[in-house]
Amino acid sequence: MIFTDWFEPGFKAGGPIRSCVNFARHMKYDYNICVFTSDRDLGDKKPYAGIQTGQWITFEPGIEVYYASPALLTWSNIRKQLMLRNPDFIYLNSMFSKHFTLYPLLISRARTATKIILAPRGMLRSSAVQFKKTKKKLFLKAFAWSGLNRHIKFHATDKMESTDVKKFFGENATIMEAGNFPGFVETYNSYLEKKPGILRVVFIGRIHPIKNLHFLLELLPEIHGEILLTVIGGEEDKNYASMCREIATRMPDRIRIDFVGEVENKNVQGFLYAHHIFALPTSGENFGHAIFEALASGKPVLISDQTPWRNLQDVKAGWDLPLSSPHLFVDALQQAADFDNADYSEWSKQAWSFVNAYVKKNNLKEAYSRLFN
């Protein structure tokens, strides 16, 4: 039984939704999967259209979902659904959620036959904890003080996240490492003509300080050539979004910035295919599903060194660079702008090959079988 704030058809919360949906789709062949989630997307006032709420429905073969309205996100209803499903495993897809982490954890801690797994989803990284810092640190202290962590196994997606868990819950915390399930990789099909001096860049992510859009915008005037930057993502932080829009108004005529807003996940690949490279100078990603999807679409990626995707330049799949060296980002953007068709075609194919090799070498099903053993 999975508890998660958002699930499909939601898309506005980004990576955590993709992680959860991909997990359910891969594991449904070995387990009966049921998902308890909210009936609306991040920040929405209205529920999803055409979705039945307050009952278990078949999402697809092997996966059942209960979409709860705000009125159903109560202690008594969560307890009722837990008793009804009587799961062998509870999988919590968040660290700081009242209804989808704390309530099910408190209700279930007396159920000794039920194993509880908690996936922090990158929320323990210092770059994430710094936002609403006081509230989060109080929550983590109370969490550790209550001893709740002794009843759970933490699912870390890499060694960095294991270190974050130990930082807050001690060296004796029970941790298993297993990478995030990515989406399915299609065959390479990403031709886009590339002329020197013309560059189409796409940014996909929440417009929030952690994603560092302003950093990218401020670099663009230093690039020689005609540049289009398409920004896809919801304005989660309105003040920050206003600042980014203001920076965009100061661009020279040869640089165009398009703010597209939110785009459903099923439509993202079309935008990727229409651009030469993907850029996300993030200050921290647990996995980076948008990065994965860009690589899988044959797009070289320009990202920070604060993600699991490293050493990209060595294989001509992109650039992972330190945020402390903005001049390196300028150099990478200029290199991409100067690519001719042959150069770009090589890097595009290498981006796809890199992520395809990643999927083949990571035996994630085996790792998750150990997690649920």
The whole-number mean pLDDT for each consecutive block of 10 residues of the chain, a chain of 373 residues, reads 95 84 89 96 93 95 96 96 93 89 84 82 74 74 72 86 86 85 70 94 94 97 97 92 96 97 87 96 87 93 94 97 97 98 95 86 77 81
DSSP count for the chain of H helices, then E strands: 13, 14
**pLDDT confidence of residue 279:** 98
Geometric angle at alpha carbon 219, from 253 and 213, rounded to 5°: 100
SS3 content of the chain, % helix, strand, coil (to 5): 40, 20, 40
Length of the chain: 373
**Residue 302, SS3?**
strand
Q: Which helix (H) or strand (E) holds 318?
A: strand 318-321
pTM here?
Answer: 0.69
For residues 73 and 51, is the Cβ–Cβ distance under 8 A? Answer: no
Rg (CA), the chain: 21
Strand partners, 321: 304
For residues 309 and 301, is the Cβ–Cβ distance under 8 A? Answer: yes
Distant-in-sequence, close-in-space partners of 270: CB < 8 Å, separation ≥ 6:
none
The 10 Å Cβ neighbour count of residue 328 is 14
For residues 214 and 232, is the Cβ–Cβ distance under 8 A? Answer: no
For residues 199 and 311, is the Cβ–Cβ distance under 8 A? Answer: no
Residues 195 and 337: their CA atoms lie apart, in Å, by 8
Residues 165 and 154: their CA atoms lie apart, in Å, by 8
Strand partners, 175: 154
**pLDDT confidence of residue 45:** 93
**pLDDT confidence of residue 129:** 72
**pLDDT confidence of residue 81:** 96
**pLDDT confidence of residue 301:** 98
Q: Which residue has the tokens 């398409």?
A: 230
What DSSP designation does 167 have? H
For residues 173 and 165, is the Cβ–Cβ distance under 8 A? Answer: yes
Q: Which helix (H) or strand (E) holds 152?
A: strand 152-156
What DSSP designation does 296 have? H
